[in-house]
Amino acid sequence: MRGERGTVRFWFSVVLGLLLLTPLGTAARADDSLESMAQDPNQWVMPGRDYSLTRYSPLKQINTDNAKDLKVAWTMSTGALRGHEGQPLVIGDMLYFESAYPNFVYAVNLSDPGRIVWKFVPHQDSFAPSVACCDVVNRGPAYGDGKLIVNTLDGHVYALDAKDGHVVWAAQNAEPKMGQTMTNAPLVVRDKVIVGVSGGEYGVRGYVTAYDLSSGKRVWRAYSEGPDSDLLFDPEKTIDGATQKPVGRNSSTKTWRGDAWKLGGGTTWGWYSYDPKLNLFYYGSGNPGTWNPSQRPGDNKWSMTIFARDPDTGQARWVYQMTPHDGWDYDGINEMVLADLDVNGTSTPTLVHFDRNGFAYVVNRENGKLVAAHKYDPTVNWATEVNLETGRPQVNPAYMTKQDVNVKGICPSAQGDKDQQPVSFDLDTKLFYAPLNHLCMDYQGFAVKYKAGFPFVGAIVNMFPAEGGNRGRFIAFDPVSGQAKWEIKDTFQDWGGALTTAGGLAFYGTLDGWFRAVDKKTGNVLYQFHCPSGIIGNPITFMHNGKQYVAILSGVGGWSAIGLAEGLAEPTAGLGAVGLTASLKDYTSLGGTLLVFSL
C-alpha cells in the first residue's frame, strides 16, 4: 500500500486516516483548503480532480498489466432518465453525485454502497425543461467547507450540508421564463461559489456570478456583453490577449449593431479552472445570439471568448476572442486546462483549450497571449489557420454563413470537433487525451425575432459524419506541435470525458455505451464493458480501503443524442442533431446508472 500512496506527503496520509475514522466519512475540516485536498489521489474533490482540470490521477494499482481483469464492483440507478454529463465526487469515504433533471443528489458511504446515506430532491420550476436547448443535463456538484454545492436546471444554487444533506442556503441565479437555465458545475474558490448560466439559444445574455460560500449572498456578477461596468472591465487595465493592449472603452458594445448585445448570448455553461498563484479563474463564453450572423454585424465581443478573472472581485484581467462574428455556433465554453508546457525550450504557464471550432489553442495564462493554435481534426475548413500575430482566424469566405443561403460542407459542424466533453492532461506523457466529434454540416441562416422564453436561433442546420464516416474520435494530442500520436475511430460522437492515470491508462466512454481502458502510449483498448446506456459522463478514480476504483455515470442524452432523449424524428430538429444520430436507438436506450469498477 505504501507504494500506491508514495506520491502523497506523510501529513496528508494522516489527515486521510482521520477522515476515514470520522462518522459517515465527514469531509475535511473547514480549514482544509480544496487545493490541499486535491493533492490526495485517494479522493476526487473537484469536478476535474484539481483546479487545473487535468483529470489525471497518480493512482496506479489499476494499470496496463491488469486492466483486462477489471469488473463491475457495484452499480446504482440515478432515478433519472435523461443525459448525465457530470461525474461523482469522493470526499473521505463518501461518494456524492447529481443526476440529470430533476437533479437528484445522492450521498453514498463507500464502506456500505448498498445504502443511500441521504438524498436531496429539489423543488423545481416545471417550465425549465421546455427551455433547455440541448437536453436537461447536469455537469455535477462541487464541494467546499463541509458543503456540497449543486446547480439545478431551473436556476437555483443550493449549498447542502455534506453530512446529512440539509439545505444550508439557496440562491436563485437564473429565470426559466426568460429562457435561462443552469447546467454547469460550480467552482469553489476559498469563500466564493462561482456559477454560470445557460440559454444562448433563447437570447440570454451570458454572465458569471459569485456567491458567498457561507451565506449564499451574491457578491458580484459579470456579463459577457454590454457596457464596461456590466463586464467588470477596466478599459485601461483589462488586456485583449490578441493584441496585448488594453481593450479600451466600450470594447463590447461598439462591436454590436444598436442594442443587440442585450440578446447577445455568450452564456457560460462550461467548465471553470483556477490558478491559485495568479489568483485568476478561467472560463469561456458561448455563441452570440442569433445563429444568423447577418442580423448582428461586427465581432460581437465578448461572445466566443476566454476570460481570466479575479475570483474575489470578478474584475477581468484579460480576454481573448477565438471566433469573432461567429457564423457556425462554435461556442467557446470548452474547458481551459492549466498546464506548464515546454514552448521553444522554455517552461511556459499555459492554458490549453480545444475549441468547438476545431483549433486547439495554447495561451499564456498570465496575459492571454496566443502561443500556438493547431487544427486537431484535419477536416477543419471554415478557417485555414489562426494568425499568431493578430490572434484571429483566417476565415475561408466560401464557408461563411449568411441569411437565406444554404452553405454546404462546413467542417466542423455546430457540435464542433469537441463540445463540452472534457479532455485529460497526462502529467507523465505531457499529452492531452481528447474525446472528440468528427462532423460536418450544411447551415442556412434566416431572420428571427426575439420573444422572451422562446427560441432565438435563426438557422437550419443539417449535420453528417466527416470524411471516413465515423462520427467520433479519441486521440492523444500534443497541442504545441499539433501532432496526434494515435487515434481510435468510433461510430458515434465521443461525448463523454477522459481520465488518465499513472497506471498508464486512459479511460473514456462512447455514445453507444462502451466504457474503455486504453493504453495511453499506444491507443490499444485493454478493456471494455457495455454499460446500460450510452455514456456522456466523465470517469473518475479513487482509492478506498486500499483498493482503487473507477466510476462513470452512464445515461445517454445531451445534444449529441437529443433525438433519442426527446423522441424527435425530423432530421434537422434538435438544432440539426437528430438526423446525425438517428440510428443510435439501435444500440442504446435512456436511463441513468452509476457504475463503479475495480480489479
Which residue shows C-alpha cell 425530423?
Answer: 570
**How do 498-501 and 56-57 pair as beta strands?**
parallel
Which residue shows C-alpha cell 452512464?
Answer: 554
329 is a catalytic site residue: yes
- DSSP state letters, 116-169: EEEEE-----TTGGGG-BTBS-----EEETTEEEEE-TTSEEEEEETTT--EEE
For residues 21 and 453, give the distance between their C-alpha atoms in angstroms, rounded to a whole number: 50
Which residue shows C-alpha cell 432565438?
Answer: 456
- Please name every residue paired with 461 in a beta bridge, in sequence order, or none if there are none: 443
Q: What is the 3-state secondary structure (H, E, C) of 211-239?
A: EECCCCCEEEEEECCCCHHHHCCCCCCCE
> CA distances (Å), 107 to each of 88, 159, 164, in order?
10, 14, 9
For residues 280 and 314, give the distance between their C-alpha atoms in angstroms, rounded to a whole number: 9
Strand order in the sheet with 147-151: 142-144, 147-151, 156-161, 167-172
Cell numbers at 169, concatenated: 442556503
- Please name every residue paired with 424 in a beta bridge, in sequence order, or none if there are none: 433
Which one, of 415, 405, 418, lies nearest residue 459 by Cα?
405
Which one, of 516, 515, 513, 514, lies nearest residue 524 by Cα?
516
Cell numbers at 146, concatenated: 463541509
**Per-state percent for the chain, helix, strand, coil, to nearest 5:** 10, 35, 55
- DSSP state letters, 517-529: EEETTT--EEEEE
The residue annotated as part of the active site, out of 135, 275, 329, 377, is: 329
> CA distances (Å), 474 to each of 294, 377, 492, in order?
35, 11, 11
- DSSP state letters, 50-93: STT---EE---SS-TTTGGG-EEEEEEE-S--S------EEETT
Cell numbers at 556, concatenated: 445517454
Residues labelled catalytic = 329
